[in-house]
Structure 1
Amino acid sequence: MDYTAIILTIGIIFAASFFSTVSGFGFALVAMPVLTLVMSVKAAVIFVLLLNLVLRAITMYRVREGYDKATVILTTLGSVVGMLPGSWVLKVLPAAQLEVFLGAVLVVATVLLSLQFTLPIKNKPCGRFAAGILSGFFGASTSVSGPPLVLYFINEKLPKDVMRANMIWFFGLSGFLTVLVNYFYGNVSGTIDWSWLLYTIPVMLLAIWLGEKFFYRLNQHLFRKLALAVVLVGALMLLWSGWQNL
């Protein structure tokens, strides 16, 4: 048993769980690039998807009164449309190429939003549905589903409590559906060592508890900056990881 790999995995899952609890997203963004150092890309994708289900089940319950049901349903339906081709792409194409492409797009989008550039959205339902499609596609193919939706919600300038609750519920529902689709495509069985879940779930619970406490100390401005920072760091890590695996 490689104890160095286990310790590294435990540390990154703690960090990913903490930031995901605070911001409502970012679990895969933080975890994926580092996990690919200790396991294959496809194993890391499935591992992250399964841990995400545990994280979301807990946090969904905690924000059950604060999310916008109509928005969550619409974006989740969009993600279903996107995850079908995304799972197929994961099966037939190297994930590294998708990581490089997604990372490059996210860097550009994050920089523009940090400079206060926003796009006026005339039809918000269509915009949310489209963001859900992109989120589902990249979630199924790279396990990084958050940035398209996060950047869209930041563009809409949603209040931090509503934005976080919406993302937690969306990623909980879409994560469950993504696992089902990947199971259908045969991507789950025999991919990961299930015993690794036993090492990581306890530290995830600690990270959720600490993240909840930290979130309520953030104001709207700091929350936006944190969200953009997590997306940018994750995008750079995706570029690095994808480039290393090309």
Structure 2
Amino acid sequence: MIDTFFSVGGERWLLASFFVFTGACLQGVSGVGFGMFAAPILAIVDPELVPGPMLFLGLIIAVLAVIRERQSLDMRGLGYALVGRIPASLAAAAMMGLLPVRIVSILFALVILAGVAMSLSRLDMRPSPARLFGAGCVSGFMGTLTSVGLPPIALMYQHAPKATLRASLGGFLIFGTLISIAALSSAGRFSLDDVALGAWLIAPLYLGFWVSTPIAAKVSSRTVRYLVLCLSALAALLLLLRQFTL
């Protein structure tokens, strides 16, 4: 692991730690933000941190979120989304190296921006079995390719009580990330090296989540909803920026 640290580089590790800390704090407050905020930036700081190490870190913060608010977890709704995620994750893992990630990322960003626009236009975006299944498919495909897969599920839960939103997104992230890791492992795209790289960033991750706990209790549901929409749009714009600056 020491060799892994020096392969990342001290300066890049400090920079990555800052973005992981910030993303973890946003995730702890709103239920989203870790992968959406940190992954596109970390892909620029060090491409080796995406998607494997970011998926590993996302799994850890999801567990922390569920433990904190497990009584608000929407298991029934998540079941539909996870059923959609499984085949989409396998398809994404199989298509890695065949389908240009740049094109897929651009399409994904445009879909998320469209979803944010629909939410702001007051169209009914509340979760239903069919919508959750569809959101799970999109989330699984993009989460496996880029480690950014929560926006479709976040849009489904944006009107839910804030504790339900945070816990349910955490629950989806736990099972969804395990599915993505398994799919990537089967395709030879995830290894212990990814775990080792992610392990160096566990401390700033936990610190950011710990800081978010007292903040989360004071933020209103309306504020959380708009924070979710803003973070979703920011993630999409960052993905677009990254694709056009490569």
- Contact 1:98 1:142 survives alignment (8 Å): no
Match of 2:133 among 102, 105, 129: 129
Match of 2:64 in 1: 58
User: What CA RMSD, in Å, does the superposition of the two structures yield over aligned residues?
Assistant: 2.0
Task: Map Cα deviations across residues 116-155 of structure 1 (whole Å, 9 max, x no partner).
Answer: 331367x92122111111111111112111111111223x
* TM-score for the superposition, normalised by structure 2: 0.89
Indicate how the Cα distance of structure 1 residues 120 and 21 shifts in structure 2: closer, same or farther if over 3 A, else same.
closer
Structure 2 match to 1:203: 204
Query: Does the CA contact (< 8 Å) of 2:88 and 2:141 recur in 1?
Result: yes
Which residue is equivalent to 1:214? 215
Change (3 A) 1:221 1:120: closer
Are 1:84 and 2:86 an aligned pair? no
Is the CA contact (8 Å cut-off) linking 2:49 and 2:197 kept in structure 1? no
Q: Does residue 177 of structure 1 match 2:156?
A: no
Closer, same or farther in 2 for the Cα pair 1:197/1:189, shift >3 Å? closer
In structure 2, C-alpha distance between the alignment counterparts of 1:191 and 1:87, rounded to whole Å: 18
Quote the residue 1:151 is aligned against: 155
Q: Are 1:119 and 2:124 an aligned pair?
A: yes
How far did residue 190 of structure 1 move? 7.4
Q: Which residue of 1 aligns with 2:232?
A: 231
1:191 Cα offset (Å): 6.2
Q: Provide the TM-score with structure 1 as the length reference.
A: 0.89
Residue 223 (structure 1) shift: 0.9
Q: Which runs of 5+ in 1 are unaligned?
A: none
Deviation at 1:65, TM superposition (A): 1.2
SS at match of 2:123: coil
Change (3 A) 1:120 1:231: closer
Unmatched runs of 5 consecutive residues or more in structure 2:
1-5
Aligned partner of 1:96 among 99, 102, 106: 102
Amino-acid identity (%): 22
Aligned length, in residue pairs: 239
1:22-77 per-residue CA deviation (whole Å, 9 max, x = no partner) reads: 1112221111111112322x651111101111111222222211112211222112
Which of 55, 64, 76 is 1:49 aligned to? 55
Decide which of 16, 34, 37 is 1:9's aligned counterpart.
16
**Are the equivalent residues in 1 in contact too, given 2:116–2:232 (CA < 8 A)?**
yes
Partner residue of 2:42?
Answer: 35
**What one-letter code is carried by the residue in structure 2 that aligns with 1:22?**
V
| Distance across 2 between alignment mates of 1:232 and 1:224 | 13
Q: Hey, what does 2:26 align to over in structure 1?
A: 19
My pick for the range that moved more, 88-97 or 50-59, is: 88-97
Q: SS of the residue aligned with 2:114?
A: helix
Query: Which of 116, 137, 142 lines up with 2:146 in the alignment?
Result: 142
Distance 2:115 2:151 in 1: 9
Give me the whole-angstrom Cα distance separating, in 1, the residues matched to 2:197 and 2:136: 30
Q: Report Cα offsets for 1:170-189 as digits up to 9, x if no partner.
A: 11111111111110110013
Secondary structure of 2:109's counterpart equals helix
Counterpart of 2:173, as a letter, is F
Q: State the match for 2:3 in structure 1.
A: none
- The letter of the residue matching 2:123 is T
Match 2:74 to one of 68, 71, 76? 68
String of CA shifts for 1:211-232, please: whole Å, max 9, x gaps.
1211111111111111111111
